[in-house]
Amino acid sequence: MRRSLSPAELYTQTLEEVLGLPLMGEMLLRKEVRRRYEKLAANVQIISMGLTRDRKNFIEESYLNDSELRQAYLLYYTTTNMLKIIPPLRELSLCGFFESNKPIRILDLGSGTGAAIWGLIQYLECERALPIDVSITAVDSVAKNLSTIRDFHNRLSKRCRFVNSSLEVQLDNLEHTKLLRSEEQYDLIIMMNTLNELSTESEHGLSDLLKQLLNNDGVSMFIEPASRSQSRRLLAFRDEAVKNGFTVFAPCTRQANCPALDREGNWCHSEYDWERPQWIKLIDEFAETLRLSLKSTYITINKNGNTLSQCLQEKESISRVVSERFDEKGRTRAILCSEKGRGEFILNKRDKSDNNKVFTKVERYDILSISNAESREHDSMVTESSHVQIVLQNLGAR
C-alpha cells in the first residue's frame, strides 16, 4: 500500500507556533497574512538564488544567521527536506532497525533548522506508532539554528504520544570538529545537506570520523540535493566509504564502485510525489516556483555488512530503477542498476506478456527482479519469456 508523503499535523501545528503564522485554512486569505507570505517568498527566492548562482560565497556567509532568511528556510525548505528522510527510514525499518527496546542514540551533523530530526520524529510517531525512546544530539555551526531546534523540539515533543525524545545541542563545525575527541557512539548518524557544504579537505576524514562515532550495528544516513554535481559528490563519497570498510545498505544493490560515475553526465537520485500543503502552494505562488515532487540523492551505510537486498531475502539478482520510465511508441524503457552495473532495459510492445507486463508500470527507485533478459551490446531486451517482478516499490508517495 502506498503511503503518501506529507507533513503530519503535529509538525504543522509546531511550525505554526514557532513562526507565529497560520499555515492552513481561511486565515491564508487575509491580506495581512498574504503580505507576510509575500515577504517570506521573496526570502525563499534569495535563498534559492544564493544556493544555485553564488553557492560558495552564500554558504560561507552563514546565511542562516539572518533571522528573516532562517524563518523563510524553516517554513519552506525545512518542510520539503524533512520529508525526504522518510523513504530511507522506511527501507531501514525493513531490517528491524527500530524494533529494539533499547533507546536509540542519534547524532545529526550539520542540523541546520532540524529537518532530519523532525522527519525522523514524524516517521517514528506516525508510522511506527509504538513507544520508543530516542536521544538526539544536534550539531551545527550556527548558534541561532540550535536555538531554533531547541524551541521547535520543546513544542513538538509535547505533541508526541509514542516518541519520548531528549535533545542536546552542540555548537561545532565539521571543518575543525571537536567530535574527533568524542568517546560517544551512536546508533544512527544523519547528515542532511551537509556534505555538499564541506571542504574537500574535511570530507577526506569523514569516513574515519563516522567509524569512530558509530557503534558496531550503527547506521549513517546521508541525504543530499539531487543536482548533478552534488549527487555525484555523494556517490564519490560512497565509493570512498566502501573502500574504508563500510557497506552500502541502500539504495544500491551492489557494493562495487558506483557505475553512474563512469560517465560525466550521469548521476543518481530518488524522486517522490507528495501532497503539497497550503503554505507551500502559497509560497510557490508568490515565488513563482512549483515543487511538485521531492528529489534527493541518499545513501545509508553501516559497518556490520547488512544490506537491504539481504533483508528482502531475494535469491535472484535484483536491480534498482535509476531513471524515470520512458513510455514511447511501441516500447517502454528504463535504466537499471545492479551488481552487473548500470544499463538500459527495453520492452517492446510486441513482446509484452503476463510475465513481464509489470515493467510498463515501474517507477524510479523501484527494486526489480528480472530473469531471462537478453543482453545486447548497448542495452538489454525484456523478452516475451522474461520474468519481471517489483520486489519493493519506491517507498515514497506515488
CA angle 21, 24, 25 (to 5 degrees): 120
- pLDDT in the model for residue 285: 94
Residue 1 has pLDDT above 70, yes or no: no
Higher-pLDDT residue of 44, 314: 44
- pLDDT in the model for residue 283: 96
Q: Which residues contact 32 (CB under 8 A, 6 or more apart)?
A: none
- pLDDT in the model for residue 4: 72
pLDDT digits (tens, 9 = 90+) for 236-250: 999 999 999 999 999
Distance from C-alpha of 328 to C-alpha of 192, rounded to nearest angstrom: 36
Q: How confident is the model at residue 398 (pLDDT cuts 50, 70, 90)?
A: very low
Distance from C-alpha of 340 to C-alpha of 316, rounded to nearest angstrom: 13
Q: Which residues contact 398 (CB under 8 A, 6 or more apart)?
A: 2, 272, 273, 363
- CATH code for the part of the protein at 314-392: 2.40.50.1010
* Residue ranges of domains in the chain: 9-310, 314-392
Distance from C-alpha of 80 to C-alpha of 89, rounded to nearest angstrom: 16
Q: What percent of the chain has pLDDT over 70?
A: 98
CB-count burial class (<10 Å; 0-12, 13-18, 19+) for 17:
middle
Q: Which fold has domain 9-310?
A: Rossmann fold (3.40.50)
- Span 20-32, mean pLDDT? 95
What rounded mean pLDDT belongs to the chain? Answer: 93
Q: Which residues contact 327 (CB under 8 A, 6 or more apart)?
A: 360
Q: How confident is the model at residue 202 (pLDDT cuts 50, 70, 90)?
A: confident
Residue 56 has pLDDT above 80, yes or no: no
Strands 270-273, 293-302: pairing is antiparallel
pLDDT digits (tens, 9 = 90+) for 359-375: 999 999 999 999 999 99
Among 46-50, 179-183, 386-390, top mean pLDDT goes to 386-390
Q: Are the beta carbons of 133 and 160 closer than 8 angstroms? A: no
CA torsion angle for 15, 144, 141, 5 (degrees, to 10)?
10
